[in-house]
C-alpha cells in the first residue's frame, strides 16, 4: 500500500495530496501511522527529494526518519525536486536528477529499502543503480519499449528464460480474457500492449490493429499477423531452442 508523495499536479495540490504533503511531515506521519494500522501489507511511499528546488540532503534525511518512525520500510524516490508551478510533464524532465542522494540514503539507512526512479533509460543504467540501492523503477522508458528489460530476468534475477514478444503477447491475451470475465474493458489492458513490437517488422500494424479494434478479436488478428512476421524471420527473436521446457510449460499453464 503506497502513499503518493510525488505527484505535483494542480489537482493533487487542490486536494492536498501528492508532493505538496512533503510540506507537512507531521501530517504525513499521521497518515502513514493510520495506514500501517489499517492494513496487513507493507506501507511504502513514493516521494520526491523535496519541493521547489529548496531541498537539502539534511531535510531529506529528516523526512525519511519521520516516515520510518511511522513504520515505512520501503522508499521509492523520484530523484528530483517537485516544482509546484510546473506542469506534470515538466516535473518529469526539468528539475535535475540526483540519484546520488538516494545512493547516500541507502548508505545512511542500510536497514531501509530504497528504490531510485527518474530518467533511467536502459538495463545498463538500472544495473549501475542496483549496485548502490535496493531497486530501480523505470516509467517512460519501459512503457515506450517494454523490451528495454528483455535481459532483466537473466541479468538481475538469474533466470534462464527470456520470453519472446509473441510469448508475452499470448500471456497478455490470457490475462485479458481473465480480466474481461471480471468486467474490465479490453482497452484497459490492450492500451499497455501497443508498443510491444516497437521497432520490429509489423510493429506499426500491430499498434494500429489494437488501437482501432480495441477488442479481443482485434488482438487475435494482430497476433496472427505477428505470428506470420516472426515465422518469416525465423525464431531469431527468442534465443532458446524450440520447445524450451520452461517456456512450453509456462504457455501450457496459461492455457494458450
Ligand X SMILES: Cc1cc2nc3c(=O)[nH]c(=O)nc-3n(C[C@H](O)[C@H](O)[C@H](O)COP(=O)(O)O)c2cc1C
Question: How many chain residues are in contact with ligand X, going by CB under 6 A?
Answer: 14
**Contact call for residues 254 and 172 (beta carbons, < 8 A):** no
Q: Note whether 118 binds ligand X by CB under 6 A.
A: yes
Distances (CA, A) of 109 to 49, 100, 130, 242: 16, 14, 16, 47
What's the closest the beta carbon of residue 204 comes to ligand X, in angstroms?
22
Q: Note whether 99 binds ligand X by CB under 6 A.
A: no
Stretch of 3-11, 98-106, 163-171, 186-194 lying at the interface with ligand X (CB under 6 A): 3-11
Among 44, 46, 67, 209, binds ligand X (CB under 6 A): 46
Spatial separation of the C-alpha atoms in residues 5 and 9, rounded to whole Å: 11
Among 71, 119, 135, 213, binds ligand X (CB under 6 A): 119
Stretch of 66-74, 135-143, 190-198, 246-254 lying at the interface with ligand X (CB under 6 A): 135-143
**Contact call for residues 132 and 180 (beta carbons, < 8 A):** no
**Contact call for residues 80 and 49 (beta carbons, < 8 A):** yes
C-beta of 138 vs 190, nearer to ligand X = 138
Q: Note whether 126 binds ligand X by CB under 6 A.
A: no
Q: Note whether 92 binds ligand X by CB under 6 A.
A: yes
Neighbouring residues of 193: CB distance < 8 A, sequence distance ≥ 6: 169, 172, 210, 219
Stretch of 115-123, 150-158, 213-221, 224-232 lying at the interface with ligand X (CB under 6 A): 115-123
Q: Note whether 205 binds ligand X by CB under 6 A.
A: no
Among 140, 192, 224, 253, binds ligand X (CB under 6 A): 140
Q: Note whether 78 binds ligand X by CB under 6 A.
A: yes
Q: Note whether 117 binds ligand X by CB under 6 A.
A: yes
* Residues carrying an active site annotation: 7
What's the closest the beta carbon of residue 119 comes to ligand X, in angstroms?
5
13's grid cell: 495540490
Q: Note whether 9 binds ligand X by CB under 6 A.
A: no
Across the beta sheet with 113-117, the strand order is 2-5, 44-51, 74-82, 113-117, 135-137
**Contact call for residues 71 and 112 (beta carbons, < 8 A):** no
Distance of CA 112 to the CA centre of its chain: 20
Q: Note whether 141 binds ligand X by CB under 6 A.
A: yes
Residue nearest ligand X by beta-carbon distance:
139
Spatial separation of the C-alpha atoms in residues 92 and 213, rounded to whole Å: 32
Amino acid at each position: 500500500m503506497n502513499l503518493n508523495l510525488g505527484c505535483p499536479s494542480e489537482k493533487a495540490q487542490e486536494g492536498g495530496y501528492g508532493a505538496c504533503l512533503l510540506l507537512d511531515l507531521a501530517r504525513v506521519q499521521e497518515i502513514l501511522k493510520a495506514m500501517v494500522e489499517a492494513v496487513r501489507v507493507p506501507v511504502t511511499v513514493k516521494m520526491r527529494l523535496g519541493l521547489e528546488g529548496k531541498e537539502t540532503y539534511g531535510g531529506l534525511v529528516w523526512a525519511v526518519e519521520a516516515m520510518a518512525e511511522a513504520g515505512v520500510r520501503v522508499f521509492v524516490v523520484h530523484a528530483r525536486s517537485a516544482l509546484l508551478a510546473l506542469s506534470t510533464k515538466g516535473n518529469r524532465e526539468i528539475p535535475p536528477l540526483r540519484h546520488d542522494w538516494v545512493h547516500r540514503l541507502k548508505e545512511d539507512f542500510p536497514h531501509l529499502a530504497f528504490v531510485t526512479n527518474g530518467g533511467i533509460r536502459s538495463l545498463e543504467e538500472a544495473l549501475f543503480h542496483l549496485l548502490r540501492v535496493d531497486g530501480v523503477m523505470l516509467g517512460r522508458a519501459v512503457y515506450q519499449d517494454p523490451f528495454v528489460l528483455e535481459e532483466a530476468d537473466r541479468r538481475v534475477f538469474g533466470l534462464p528464460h527470456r520470453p519472446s514478444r509473441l510469448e508475452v503477447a499470448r500471456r497478455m491475451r490470457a490475462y485479458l480474457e481473465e480480466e474481461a470475465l471480471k468486467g474490465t474493458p479490453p482497452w484497459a489492458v490492450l492500451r499497455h500492449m501497443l508498443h510491444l513490437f516497437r521497432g520490429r517488422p509489423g510493429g506499426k500494424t500491430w499498434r494500429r490493429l489494437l488501437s482501432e479494434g480495441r477488442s479481443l478479436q482485434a488482438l487475435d488478428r494482430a497476433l496472427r499477423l505477428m505470428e506470420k512476421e516472426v515465422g518469416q524471420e525465423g525464431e531469431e527473436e527468442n534465443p532458446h531452442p524450440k520447445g524450451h521446457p520452461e517456456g512450453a510449460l509456462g504457455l501450457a499453464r496459461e492455457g494458450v
